[in-house]
Copies of this chain bind each other. A is one copy, B any other.
């Protein structure tokens, strides 16, 4: 390969820049030219490509967001969009692509590979960590630390006012963010899509706690819990215990931003290198990830269809630690 390209797509996550940087420098290290594509698939369709040098990524490793911008692309989901995208690749003589993003990104990538045979290697860039094929996604560790830092602040108030706080963290389909936040935040209860904690369970844990003179509680709720979001759950508990002094805090978008942690920079850098070296070694239609500290390339199809299971020992931990 003489020339590759790199883009970011889907929700931004901290460490995407560290990954772009690794892609750019690894390409240059191996004597391969590298182009940046702005705004993901949309930018590819429109031809927003530009040559990147080592200095293009100077002083970016510590930055949140993505210097290549990101966007979700409806156009690329249509055959016409992919045709235009392929024409741009031909025009710029791009022989391989590194796609940094999540499941939506990889769904597009595998379609594109099937139709046009363009070698694409993916990097798991999403704060949600719910991607099969890697223990950790780029941005996950930072998001968890940001949420935990917020919970530490909230506990100051919970403790001072002897209140119950329902804290909603990101996670539409999984409790990956909620779980370490609950354990690390010293929460008494955690509600995640993967487990069936019901409103009566919450009520009995609270009453049990009060009976042991516990005066403040943190309840962590993944936004996608089957019992509802934090506001809904708090309302239903309040109905049963009207005298409860409760508050709801929705952490929201702050979880996406910020300077990446050491772990995320390291992971993003390793994966960036692995994507480029994978491409050079003939990998295609796969995502690079680390499972049990070993580099693995997982077919996009598997990352899309298989489900990563949250460690069941975590569920038990919350129970033990809030004794």
Which residues does A use to contact B, with CB under 8 Å? 8, 11-12, 14, 16, 18, 21-22, 25-26, 28-29, 54-55, 59, 61-66, 69-71, 135, 141, 144-146, 148, 150, 152-157, 159-162, 165, 180-181, 183-186, 212-213, 247, 249-254, 256-259, 261-263, 265-266, 269-270, 273, 292-293, 313, 317, 319-323
Whether A153 and B146, one on each chain, are in contact in the complex, defined by CB atoms closer than 8 angstroms, is yes
Q: Which of B141, B265, B323 is in CB contact (< 8 Å) with A28?
A: B323
In the assembled complex, the Cα of A252 lies from the Cα of B71 at a distance in Å of 28
In the assembled complex, the Cα of A165 lies from the Cα of B257 at a distance in Å of 13
Give the shortest distance, in Å, between A278 (CB) and chain B (any CB). Answer: 14
Q: Which of B155, B253, B321 is in CB contact (< 8 Å) with A25?
A: B321
> Which residues in B have their C-beta under 8 angstroms from that of A259?
152
Whether B70 and A161, one on each chain, are in contact in the complex, defined by CB atoms closer than 8 angstroms, is yes
Q: Which of B25, B184, B320 is in CB contact (< 8 Å) with A262?
A: B184
> Which residues in B have their C-beta under 8 angstroms from that of A322?
25
Scoring A26, A155, A160, A265 by chain B CB atoms within 10 A of each residue's CB, the highest score goes to A160
Complex A-B: 10 CB contacts under 8 Å: A22-B320, A25-B320, A29-B319, A71-B161, A153-B254, A154-B254, A156-B256, A249-B252, A270-B313, A270-B317
Whether A21 and B321, one on each chain, are in contact in the complex, defined by CB atoms closer than 8 angstroms, is yes
Whether B157 and A262, one on each chain, are in contact in the complex, defined by CB atoms closer than 8 angstroms, is no
A-B complex: 5 closest residue pairs judged by Cβ atoms: A153-B257, A65-B156, A64-B156, A156-B257, A184-B265
> Which residues in B have their C-beta under 8 angstroms from that of A180?
262-263, 265-266
Scoring A26, A162, A261 by chain B CB atoms within 10 A of each residue's CB, the highest score goes to A261
13 further A-B pairs in the complex, CB-CB below 8 A; given A71-B162, A153-B256, A249-B252: A16-B160, A54-B323, A55-B213, A62-B152, A64-B156, A64-B157, A153-B253, A154-B253, A154-B254, A155-B257, A250-B252, A251-B254, A292-B292
Beyond A59-B186, A153-B257, A157-B256, is A273–B162 a contact (Cβ under 8 Å)?
Answer: no
> Which residues in B have their C-beta under 8 angstroms from that of A323?
25, 28-29, 54
Beyond A162-B69, A269-B321, is A148–B257 a contact (Cβ under 8 Å)?
Answer: no
* Closest Cβ neighbor of A150 among chain B residues: B254
> Which residues in B have their C-beta under 8 angstroms from that of A144?
262
In the assembled complex, the Cα of A148 lies from the Cα of B142 at a distance in Å of 14
Whether B65 and A257, one on each chain, are in contact in the complex, defined by CB atoms closer than 8 angstroms, is no
Scoring A22, A135, A259, A266 by chain B CB atoms within 10 A of each residue's CB, the highest score goes to A266
> Which residues in B have their C-beta under 8 angstroms from that of A135?
293
